[in-house]
Chains A and B, each alone.
Chain A
Amino acid sequence: MRRKTISYAKWGYIFLIPFVVIYCIFSLWPLIQTFGYSFLDYVISQGSVTSIRGGGADTIQNKGFCGLSNYIAVMKSGGIFAVSFWNTIVLWLVGFIPQIIVSLLLASWFTDIRLKLKAQGFFKTVMYMPNVIMASALSLLFYSLCTKGGALDTLFGGPELLTKVWGARGVVGFINFLMWYGNTTILLMAAMMGIDTSLYEAAQIDGANPTQVFWQITMPLIKPILAYVVVTSMIGGLQMYDVPYIIGGTAGNPNQVLKTLVSQIQLGKNSSVGAVSALSVLVFIVSAILGFITLKLMDDNSIKTRYGKKKKK
């Protein structure tokens, strides 16, 4: 019996083995474990050391299944989820809103067929540069700039930004903005350059002004990439940790506003295993819900209709 075609599919699977194995061991299994831990009354004592001569007490205090009590403890008012969730969202928005506005503006300028900006490569590199620096290094830099007695205080007579609620939020937001606007700009530029220039030319001939062109042509056509940018940024934002931690420490000063979801996980990971596992699961669920909502909102059918495809009914 002769085969009609040669199938190379098996090589695809064989080459996938390393990834799948690594993923299962280092990502999937811990993920499942985390779900499991979140239902256990599981605490590691930090006040003692595991006995190494045998016969001593163990530091792990696992009292077994405890239902949803970890979730209740974490979500109650004053619990670590309640405190950190809105902080994280606010910190993300403070950085993301200016970021998306500036990126859209820059991207549309750089791709504008009439402006024809020169030295684009240079500007792209410069804009991307902050992303190359480690977040922690950039945070330390801003910390020493804005902290008490830092350069900013010396210059402007001591606004002491980091002691004010919105000052601290602003600094964290600004660092995130600075780090990510270049990346977003380049993604959006790629999306905009993919738009057929004949559409722009036709719009110009029809007498559309730049604002109309932007809202009626550019925006609808970059929606898939825009959705991608929003979702990835949101998931990244929910996992925000290094910047607020370096600026505000574990206490998240001032007034705990720099406490983020992940900083709470980090705070308790060596001891309150059950509770922070529950928090991790909540982060997982929240990310999934927010991602789903965003994709739904972004996924209208304007693109399909524009390209002449019929709406599915």
Chain B
Amino acid sequence: MAQLKKILAGAMALCMAGSVLTACGGTSDSSSDAGTADAGTTDAGNTDGGSTEVKDVEPAKTDDLVNTGKVYNIYCWNTEFKERFEKYYEGVKDTALWDGVEVKWTEIPNKDNNYQTKLDDALKNQNTAADDDKIDLFLVEADYAMKYVNSDAPLDVIGEVGLTKDDLANQYKYTQDAMTDSNGTLKGVSWQATPGLFLYNADYAKQVLGTDDPTEVQAAVADWDKFAETAQKMKDAGIFMVSGYDDTYRCFSNNVSAPWVTDGKITVDPQIKAWVDQTKEYSEKGYNNGTSLWDDAWKAGQKVDGKVFGYFFSTWGIPFTLLPNTVDKALDDGGAADESNGGYGHWRACAGPQSYFWGGTWLCGAYGSDNIAITRDIMLKLTCDTDIMASITENEQDYTNNKAAIKKLTDAGYSNPFLGGQDHLSLLSEAAEKIDLTNKMSAYDQGCNEEFQGAMKDYFQGTVDYDKALETFKTNITTKYGDLSMD
């Protein structure tokens, strides 16, 4: 008996020790050779985005694209693309390609570079990961798109994924410029163009300005001086012009003369400083409600009686943020899509004081993917197909990246019930044409934007002066990005 106990105890100890030493598996080393085109250079520097033409390469042949994986891995940071995917792609997908393949979503929140860090870690293992763990498709946002454009992780949309220039012809050029590296290789495509507008509460417009007509309201906010005048009127009526400190940020940050980072040095552009000065003034005069982006109080202002006149939003802001925040009952839960439901139909759009863009999501095929044929199918249908693009815009209020689709809708007399029947697409089309990303983006934008807004909040609240807030920003940003310096 004692012998048995000894043996048992020894066996258990060995098992436990053994389990500790077991290596983590996954060593299938299949290299997918779908990519024939030369990989883009990976200069860690900051090539100015959006200046190179997409070069002519032979599109990859459809028959050559690999499609051996059983799991299609998608990396993203919110549900926006997933919703589009499920609603507009599942029904029309190439079932032959998807036979036996299931989609796996990996959703990692964007905040504090979380998504980027996790994505980078996963991409690093593309060559060694098990086939079903390899990323097939990943999403990038405008604030850090440059980082991936300058790397060799994304597949060449034309040379390796197999889309043709004809397929891409209807897309806005800026959406391609942003994703084209210095060699002219297109690294990603988007289903949306993200021109920005000023969305305002029509009830307050009527109450204070006497009209809710977009043209006349636009006249009242045509430039920053007029904007401030209207803000004063709003304030007298007990209404905040904008909700918080960061609302006007993108108007300025997208009109900078140089990106945040040049040659490893961080500079605060005069436009960014202009935002600081303006926001400080607005805070002191009570033109804003002192909220921060995405806060509960910020969202509350989007109710029809939220005491906030307007919000700066890009196209995705309408379906993804404003609409869910303003209605009393979510449309998915059976809320009525008419004016009885909270703020539905109580908002209008105008161009605002300064043209800008905000955000934008691009799809990138990942090098090492074993389902490139599916990637091609998704890109083709969700970013190039005019009919699908048109129905997304029509049903979701999203401004899709397809000039033909938008034209088709506006020609047919588009009207948006959420905006009280207004045709905001024409406004967006106008704004979209003005977007120019040349020399405005760097790979570090997300961290810079977040840390700068965070540090300046102290200044706006009157806790510290500007120099102190700038000093805080400097400490934070150089810790977050150890490879950068700031004077």
A residues with a Cβ closer than 8 A to B are: 11, 14-15, 17-18, 21-22, 25, 43-53, 55-57, 59, 61, 78-80, 83, 144, 147-150, 163, 165, 249-251, 253-256, 264, 267-268, 270-276
Interface residues of B (CB under 8 A from A): 9-10, 13, 16-17, 19-21, 35, 39, 41-44, 46, 112-113, 116-117, 120, 123-124, 126-127, 146-148, 150-153, 261, 289-291, 295-297, 300, 367-368, 442-444, 447, 450-451, 454-455, 457-458, 461, 463-464, 468, 471-472, 475-476, 478-484
- Are B472 and A47 neighbours in the complex by a CB distance under 8 Å? no
A163 contacts B463, C-beta separation under 8 Å = yes
B156 to chain A minimum Cβ distance, whole angstroms, is 11
Q: In the complex, which residues of chain B have a beta carbon less than 8 angstroms from the beta carbon of A275? A: 479, 482
- Min CB distance, A3 to chain B, in Å? 15
Q: How distant is the Cα of A22 from the Cα of B16 in the complex, in angstroms?
A: 10
Question: With a CB–CB cut-off of 8 A, which chain A residues contact B126?
Answer: 52
**Contact call A57/B464, Cβ cutoff below 8 A:** no
User: How far in angstroms is the closest Cβ of chain B from A211?
Assistant: 43
In whole angstroms, how far apart are the Cα atoms of A50 and B480 in the complex?
A: 18
Q: Are B113's CB and A270's CB within 8 A?
A: yes
Given A18-B16, A56-B42, the answer on whether A49 and B153 have CB atoms closer than 8 Å is yes
Given known contacts A57-B42, A59-B44, A251-B458, A272 and B479 CB-to-CB distance under 8 angstroms: yes
Cα–Cα distance between A25 and B19 once the two chains are bound (Å):
13
A148 vs B458: C-alpha distance when bound (angstroms): 14
Count of A-B contacts with CB under 8 A? 174
Instruction: Assess the A253–B457 pair: CB atoms within 8 A.
Output: yes
**Which residues of A lie under 8 Å from residue B483 when comparing CB positions?**
43-47, 61, 271
In angstroms, Cα B46 to Cα A264, docked, is 27
Pick from B44, B120, B124 the residue with the most CB of A within 10 Å.
Answer: B44
Write out the residue numbers on chain B whose beta carbons fall within 8 Å of the beta carbon of A83: 475
User: Judging by beta carbons under 8 Å apart, are A52 and B479 in contact?
Assistant: no
- How many angstroms from the CA of A48 to the CA of B146 in the assembled complex? 9
Chain A nearest CB from B148 CB (Å) reads: 6
- Interchain CB contact under 8 A, A43 and B482: yes
A52-B127, A148-B291 given; A17·B13 CB < 8 A: yes
Q: How far is the CA of A142 from the CA of B478 in the complex (A)?
A: 30
Shortest CB distance A114–B (Å): 50
**Closest A residue by C-beta to B473:** A251
Cβ-neighbour of B116 out of A17, A46, A251 (below 8 A): A46
Q: Would you call A80 and B461 a contact (CB within 8 A)?
A: no
Cβ-defined contact, A48 with B461, below 8 A: no
Closest chain B residue to A148 by CB distance? B297
**Minimal Cβ-Cβ distance residue in B for A268:** B479
Residues in A with CB closer than 8 Å to B463 are 163, 165, 253-255
